[in-house]
A and B are shown apart, each in its own frame.
Chain A
Amino acid sequence: MSDTKELVKREESLPERSREIPAVAPLVDIYENDDENLLHVDMPGVDKKDLTVNIDNGRLALGGVRKLETSGATQWEEFGDVEFQRTFSVPQTIDAEKIDAELKDGVLRLHLPKSEAAKPRQIEIKAA
């Protein structure tokens, strides 16, 4: 019996399982017009330097880490340190060079402009 206990303990002490911060999907609004796609993402408490936006091969990955700086003993805690993570599939027609991101009041606004070729074009009808 004691042999089995030791076996279990050994597996528990392996260092790979040390990640503590829970990962959470942030809430997102997605808008589109003729020129661009626009994302509004709630990331309360995330500092600009802890925010990452990666676009690669049609995958847009948003990540942000929140570290709370607190003082004193906790009376109650409804939110804590968190890692916001969310991935989207974006069409290849997004002009990755011109992506623009701004962070204000804990909301990330991400402008994803469409490339010229993908924009709808008005075709003029000529009178014969």
Chain B
Amino acid sequence: MWRRWSDLDRMFQAMDMLQDRMNWFVPEYGRRRAIPAWDSAQSGFKANLYDAGDYLEMKAEVPGIAKDDLSVKVQGNYLEISGVRKSDAPEGYTAHRVERGTAAFTRSFTLPSDIDTSKAEAKMANGLITLTLPKSEAAKPKQITINEGS
């Protein structure tokens, strides 16, 4: 039994070694690749959410979308981002290749905490939208002072 176990172990080690060798020649092998956001099969956009204690921060990819073509709605812990990606094909040109799709999209999120909607902000830069969503007072983390027992 012991002998068989070590055979198995040796086999796995050989496989690990093979993978290492493969990585040596092809460093990208086995690494998760980022998928382009505007894939025809995917009608949404990619978004990240960060929690900074007092506020939530959301970043989303919205390349080529004008400020006026985007709308952001917040209510309680519900967030909705919708917009239209219009065609920017120039007039009088022949198209050889069109990979960038055009579509209307909506995506809604349930945020991990309630938002103080009056203080929510959004700004766009380089095709990314950044939302700063301050948490409502009740949802903010509070420091609790420890009282010394008598």
Mark A residues whose CB is within 8 Å of B. 1, 4-5, 8, 11-12, 17, 19, 22-33, 38, 40, 42-47, 68, 70-80, 82, 103, 105-107
Question: In the complex, which of the residues A5, A33, A103, A105 has the most CB atoms of chain B within 10 Å of its own CB atom?
Answer: A105
Partner of A106, one of B57, B90, B92, B128: B128
In contact, A106 and B62 (Cβ under 8 angstroms): yes
In contact, A71 and B52 (Cβ under 8 angstroms): yes
Please, which residues of chain A bring their CB within 8 A of the CB of B21? 11
In contact, A22 and B34 (Cβ under 8 angstroms): yes
A1 vs B9: C-alpha distance when bound (angstroms): 10
Cβ of B142 within 8 Å of any chain A Cβ, yes or no, is no
Please, which residues of chain B bring their CB within 8 A of the CB of A46? 126-127
Partner of B93, one of A33, A45, A82, A105: A33
In contact, A79 and B38 (Cβ under 8 angstroms): no
Q: Which residue of B lies closest to A21 (CB)?
A: B34
In contact, A44 and B94 (Cβ under 8 angstroms): no
Cβ of B104 within 8 Å of any chain A Cβ, yes or no, is no
Q: Which residue of B lies closest to A14 (CB)?
A: B24
Cβ of B66 within 8 Å of any chain A Cβ, yes or no, is yes
Question: Do A5 and B13 form a contact, CB below 8 Å, given A30-B95, A80-B34?
Answer: yes
Please, which residues of chain A bring their CB within 8 A of the CB of B128? 44-45, 106
Contacts A32-B96, A105-B65, A106-B126 known; 17 new A-B pairs at CB < 8 A: A1-B10, A17-B24, A22-B33, A23-B28, A30-B95, A31-B96, A32-B93, A38-B90, A40-B64, A42-B37, A70-B48, A71-B52, A72-B53, A78-B47, A80-B48, A82-B34, A106-B62
Please, which residues of chain A bring their CB within 8 A of the CB of B33? 22, 24
Q: Which residue of B lies closest to A46 (CB)?
A: B126
Question: In the complex, which of the residues B31, B50, B94, B126 has the most CB atoms of chain A within 10 Å of its own CB atom?
Answer: B126
- What is the minimal beta-carbon distance from A110 to any residue of chain B, in angstroms? 12
For the complex of A and B, 9 pairs with smallest distance between CB atoms: A106-B127, A72-B52, A106-B63, A44-B127, A31-B93, A78-B46, A44-B63, A75-B49, A72-B50
Question: Do A22 and B63 form a contact, CB below 8 Å, given A28-B100, A33-B94?
Answer: no
Please, which residues of chain A bring their CB within 8 A of the CB of B148? none
Please, which residues of chain B bring their CB within 8 A of the CB of A42? 36-38, 63-64, 100, 127
In contact, B127 and A43 (Cβ under 8 angstroms): yes
A105 vs B28: C-alpha distance when bound (angstroms): 30
